[in-house]
């Protein structure tokens, strides 16, 4: 009986590589696509070129996009490759968007909950300045 | 006296012969014979007197004829008288001679002593010598006058000879200095001759160099013309290159636009492929094939984007190269324009230089001719100076001789003055 797999989308912000589950991404658009709420700056860093936008569906069914430099691809990984974030580490992080680590090519890659990340970032942007959480 | 005896004998011989011829007539004949003999004696006596034999005398007693006796007596008286007159004349001659000797001796004595201050005092009382005394006095006065004049002349001669000596000495000095100056001048002219020769050679060299420079300048003028033609070609080529670069730039821009379109298409393809892969992944096992196709599409799109990226890089390089070529072409045009300007300026300068060189060449030629004439003239001057030096040398010798002669003349003048000083006239 084969091991269940997960479909993982990998993307790059700056020089760092992150991963997310394909089901969190509605579609992939341009980084400069109009009619979307773009989040460029986040705890993942700031893209250099904003070539792509990972579009998700917001709470009000409006599309929101996390600007990234590149979408590296989509690959199937074994379920065992995805590990939840340790509780201590989760407590240490200021964001709930980092949900675990996925091992890609023997390298642990942060697994990002993009809708959560966008929501947090939009909340931070809407909050008064003194209450903003510093960048990761 | 032999003559008287002879005359008597001669008188006796006719009488003897008359006695032998005729006795009667002998008487008259004897008388005539005696008379003839007496006349012959008288004639002989007169002949002797006429011949200067003033001591001839007749014995009147021996003349029988009274007339002859008287004649003989008169002859004797005339002889005596003549003898006495001659004695008186001789005495007077002696007296005059003595007076003359005395006068001459006195005059000689005065002359020898040189004392002409006094008058000549002679003890001559003979009236006949009065003119002589007067003449001697006049001679003495004339001598005094001569001595006086000679003294003055000697003094003037001495002064003049001293002046002549001084002038001759000065002349000799001047001649010597002149000879020295002429010698130095001749030496200088010899040096000048050498210098003129050198100058003539240098002038010829300058003329030759000026000719060569003129030829080189004309070659330079031709080179500048060629250069300007080349610059014109370069400028035209630069314009053509500029046009070609502009065309190339437009083509490249066009290619860039096409590449941008391709890149845009590839990007969209990539995006489509990503979304297809995303949907395929979401579809699970059912979308596996779709995902594979999408992945292949994405790979192609990425290849295209890589290619377009390379093309963009190439276009960027081509743009940079085109820009550099444009700048180079502009620089070439600008440099060609400046080259033409510089060529024109150089042409103007070379034209001026050629004109100057031409004038220099003409001037050098004129200088060359002038220096040749100068050399010839200098040689003539040197020749003339040599002749002048020779003449001056002769003049110097003549001046020395003149100085010597003047010195001798001065000595003679002094000696003449010394001699004439012996004569005191005052």
B381/B196 Cα distance (integer angstroms): 12
- Judge whether B357 and B214 are in contact, CB under 8 Å: yes
pLDDT at A136: 44
CA of A129 to nearest chain B CA: how many angstroms apart? 36
Work out the percent of chain B whose per-residue pLDDT is above 90. Answer: 1
* Interchain contact A25–B (C-beta under 8 A): yes
Whether residue B6 is predicted with pLDDT greater than 80 in this model: the reply is no
CA of B251 to nearest chain A CA: how many angstroms apart? 28
A102, HSE (Cβ side, Cα atoms, 13 Å):
24
Give the residue-averaged pLDDT of B13-31. 63
Confirm whether B222 is domain-assigned: yes
**Mutation site, B263, B276, B281, interface A, largest A CB count within 10 A:** B281
CA of B241 to nearest chain A CA: how many angstroms apart? 38
Q: Do B271 and A29 touch (CB under 8 A)?
A: yes
Confirm whether B238 is domain-assigned: yes
pLDDT at B205: 85
B206/A89 Cα distance (integer angstroms): 102
Q: Is the pTM of this model over 0.80?
A: no
pLDDT tens for B341-365 read 888 888 888 888 888 878 887 888 8
Whether residue A48 is predicted with pLDDT greater than 90 in this model: the reply is yes
Cβ neighbours of A27 in B, within 8 Å: 275, 278
Whether residue A114 is predicted with pLDDT greater than 60 in this model: the reply is yes
- Are B87 and B218 part of one and the same domain? no
Range in A106-110, A125-129, B91-95 the model is least confident about: A125-129
pLDDT tens for B101-133 read 877 787 777 777 777 777 766 676 777 777 877
Q: Do B291 and A73 touch (CB under 8 A)?
A: no
B119/B101 Cα distance (integer angstroms): 17
Residues 6+ apart with CB under 8 A from A21: A6, A7, A8, A9, A111
Q: Considering B34, B67, B91, which residue would you say is the last residue of a domain?
A: B91
SS3 label, residue B260:
helix
Whether residue B79 is predicted with pLDDT greater than 90 in this model: the reply is no
Give the residue-averaged pLDDT of A85-102. 88
Cβ neighbours of B281 in A, within 8 Å: 7, 9, 22, 74, 76
Q: Considering B91, B117, B147, which residue would you say is the last residue of a domain?
A: B91
Confirm whether B98 is domain-assigned: no
- Are B39 and B177 part of one and the same domain? no
- Judge whether A110 and A136 are in contact, CB under 8 Å: no
Cβ neighbours of A30 in B, within 8 Å: 271
Q: How many domains, in total, are found in chain B?
A: 2
Give the residue-averaged pLDDT of A70-79. 91
Work out the percent of chain B whose per-residue pLDDT is above 70. Answer: 92
Confirm whether B230 is domain-assigned: yes
Highest mean pLDDT: which range of A99-108, B55-64, B380-389, B410-419: A99-108
C-alpha pair distances (Å), B337 with each of A105, B236, B242, B244:
65, 10, 14, 19
Q: Do A22 and B282 touch (CB under 8 A)?
A: yes
B6/B20 Cα distance (integer angstroms): 21
B312/B318 Cα distance (integer angstroms): 9
**Mutation site, A28, A30, A55, A65, interface B, largest B CB count within 10 A:** A28
pLDDT at B324: 82
Q: How many CB atoms lie within 10 A of CB A29?
A: 21
Q: Whole domain around residue B353: which residue ranges?
A: 163-421
CA of B263 to nearest chain A CA: how many angstroms apart? 13
Confirm whether B115 is domain-assigned: no
Strand arrangement, sheet containing A107-112 = A70-78, A5-13, A16-21, A107-112, A98-104, A82-84
* Interchain contact A7–B (C-beta under 8 A): yes
pLDDT at B11: 52
Q: What are the beta bridge partners of residue A30? A: A52
pLDDT tens for B243-270 read 888 888 888 888 888 888 888 888 888 8
Residues 6+ apart with CB under 8 A from A135: A41, A42, A43, A45
Q: Do B278 and A73 touch (CB under 8 A)?
A: no
- Judge whether A72 and A11 are in contact, CB under 8 Å: yes
CA of A59 to nearest chain B CA: how many angstroms apart? 21
pLDDT at B2: 45
pLDDT tens for B359-392 read 887 888 888 888 888 888 888 888 888 888 888 8
User: Which DSSP string corresponds to A62-80?
Assistant: -EEEEEESEEEEEEEEEGG
- Are B75 and B174 part of one and the same domain? no
Confirm whether B144 is domain-assigned: no
B79/B85 Cα distance (integer angstroms): 10
Q: How many CB atoms lie within 10 A of CB B310?
A: 11
- Are B224 and B313 part of one and the same domain? yes
pLDDT at B17: 56
H-helix or E-strand spanning residue B62: none
Could you tell me what percentage of chain A is helix, strand and coil, using 3-state DSSP and rounding each to the nearest 5? 20, 45, 35
A15/A61 Cα distance (integer angstroms): 31
pLDDT tens for B164-203 read 888 888 888 888 888 888 888 888 888 888 887 888 788 8
> Between residues B181 and A68, which one has the greater pLDDT?
A68
Cβ neighbours of A52 in B, within 8 Å: 271, 274
CA of B302 to nearest chain A CA: how many angstroms apart? 11
Cβ neighbours of B272 in A, within 8 Å: none
pLDDT tens for B135-145 read 877 877 887 88
**Closest in A27, A73, A76 to B275, CB measured:** A27
B31/B18 Cα distance (integer angstroms): 10
Give the residue-averaged pLDDT of B282-304. 88
Highest mean pLDDT: which range of B7-16, B171-180, B269-278, B399-408: B269-278
**A41 phi/psi in degrees, rounded to 5:** -95, 130
A117/A95 Cα distance (integer angstroms): 8
- Are B73 and B189 part of one and the same domain? no
Q: Considering B35, B61, B91, which residue would you say is the last residue of a domain?
A: B91
C-alpha pair distances (Å), B424 with each of B82, B154, B325, B420:
50, 14, 132, 8
CA of A22 to nearest chain B CA: how many angstroms apart? 6
Highest mean pLDDT: which range of A62-66, B149-153, B245-249, B411-415: A62-66
pLDDT mean across residues, chain B: 81
**A3 phi/psi in degrees, rounded to 5:** -75, 140
Domains of chain A in sequence order: 5-130 (2.30.30.40)
Q: Do B275 and A52 touch (CB under 8 A)?
A: no
* Interchain contact A30–B (C-beta under 8 A): yes
- Are B189 and B65 part of one and the same domain? no
Residues 6+ apart with CB under 8 A from B51: none
**Closest in A30, A52, A74 to B281, CB measured:** A74
Q: Of A95, A89, A100, give the one whose Cα is nearest residue A8.
A: A100
pLDDT at B298: 87
B94/B91 Cα distance (integer angstroms): 5
pLDDT at A19: 96
Cβ neighbours of A73 in B, within 8 Å: 277, 295, 298
Whether residue A90 is predicted with pLDDT greater than 90 in this model: the reply is no
Domain containing residue B270: CATH number: 1.10.287.950
**Closest in A27, A30, A76 to B278, CB measured:** A27
User: Which DSSP string corresponds to B372-385?
Assistant: HHHHHHHHHHHHHH
pLDDT at B1: 42
- Are B84 and B219 part of one and the same domain? no
- Of chain A residues 42-81, which have a CB less than 8 A from chain B? 52, 71, 73-74, 76
- Are B271 and B395 part of one and the same domain? yes
Give the residue-averaged pLDDT of A8-18. 95
- Judge whether B44 and B71 are in contact, CB under 8 Å: no
């Amino acid at each position: 009986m084969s091991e269940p797999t997960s479909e993982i989308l990998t993307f790059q912000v700056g020089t760092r590589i992150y991963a997310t589950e394909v089901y969190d991404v509605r579609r992939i658009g341009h980084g400069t696509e109009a009619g979307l709420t773009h989040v460029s700056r986040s705890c993942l860093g700031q893209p250099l070129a904003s070539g792509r936008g990972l579009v998700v569906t917001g709470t009000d069914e409006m599309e929101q996009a996390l600007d990234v430099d590149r979408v590296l691809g989509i690959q199937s990984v074994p379920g065992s490759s995805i590990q939840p974030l340790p509780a201590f580490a989760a407590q240490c992080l200021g964001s709930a968007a980092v949900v675990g680590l996925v091992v890609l090519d023997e390298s642990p890659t942060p697994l990002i909950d993009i809708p959560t990340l966008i929501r947090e970032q939009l909340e931070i942007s809407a909050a008064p300045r003194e209450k903003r959480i510093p960048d990761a | 006296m032999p003559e008287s005896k002879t005359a008597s004998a001669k008188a006796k011989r006719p009488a003897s012969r008359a006695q032998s011829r005729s006795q009667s007539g002998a008487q008259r004949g004897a008388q005539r014979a005696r008379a003839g003999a007496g006349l012959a004696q008288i004639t002989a006596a007169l002949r002797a007197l006429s011949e200067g034999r003033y001591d001839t005398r007749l014995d009147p007693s021996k003349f029988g004829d009274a007339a002859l006796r008287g004649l003989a007596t008169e002859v004797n008286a005339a002889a005596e008288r003549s003898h006495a007159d001659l004695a008186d004349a001789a005495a007077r001659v002696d007296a005059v001679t003595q007076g003359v000797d005395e006068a001459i001796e006195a005059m000689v004595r005065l002359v020898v002593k040189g004392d002409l201050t006094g008058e000549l005092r002679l003890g001559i009382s003979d009236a006949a010598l009065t003119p002589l005394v007067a003449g001697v006095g006049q001679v003495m006065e004339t001598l005094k006058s001569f001595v006086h004049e000679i003294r003055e002349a000697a003094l003037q001669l001495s002064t003049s000879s001293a002046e002549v000596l001084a002038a001759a000495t000065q002349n000799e000095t001047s001649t010597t200095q002149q000879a020295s100056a002429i010698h130095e001048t001749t030496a200088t002219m010899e040096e000048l001759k050498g210098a003129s020769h050198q100058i003539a050679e240098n002038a010829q060299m300058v003329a030759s160099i000026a000719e060569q420079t003129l030829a080189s300048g004309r070659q330079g003028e031709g080179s500048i013309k060629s250069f300007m033609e080349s610059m014109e070609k370069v400028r035209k080529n630069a314009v053509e290159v500029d046009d070609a670069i502009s065309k190339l730039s437009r083509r490249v821009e066009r290619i860039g636009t096409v590449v941008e379109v391709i890149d845009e298409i590839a990007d969209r393809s990539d995006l489509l492929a990503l979304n297809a892969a995303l949907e395929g992944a979401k579809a699970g096992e059912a979308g596996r094939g779709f995902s594979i196709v999408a992945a292949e599409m994405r790979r192609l799109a990425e290849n295209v984007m890589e290619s377009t990226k390379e093309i963009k890089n190439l276009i960027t390089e081509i743009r940079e190269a085109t820009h550099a070529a444009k700048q180079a072409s502009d620089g070439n045009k600008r440099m060609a324009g400046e080259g033409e300007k510089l060529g024109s300026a150089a042409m103007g300068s070379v034209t001026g230089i050629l004109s100057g060189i031409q004038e220099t060449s003409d001037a050098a030629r004129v200088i060359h001719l002038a220096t040749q004439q100068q050399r010839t003239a200098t040689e003539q001057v040197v020749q003339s100076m040599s002749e002048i030096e020779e003449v001056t040398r002769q003049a110097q010798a003549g001046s020395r001789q003149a100085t010597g002669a003047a010195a001798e003349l001065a000595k003679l003048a002094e000696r003449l003055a010394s001699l004439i000083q012996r004569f005191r006239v005052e």
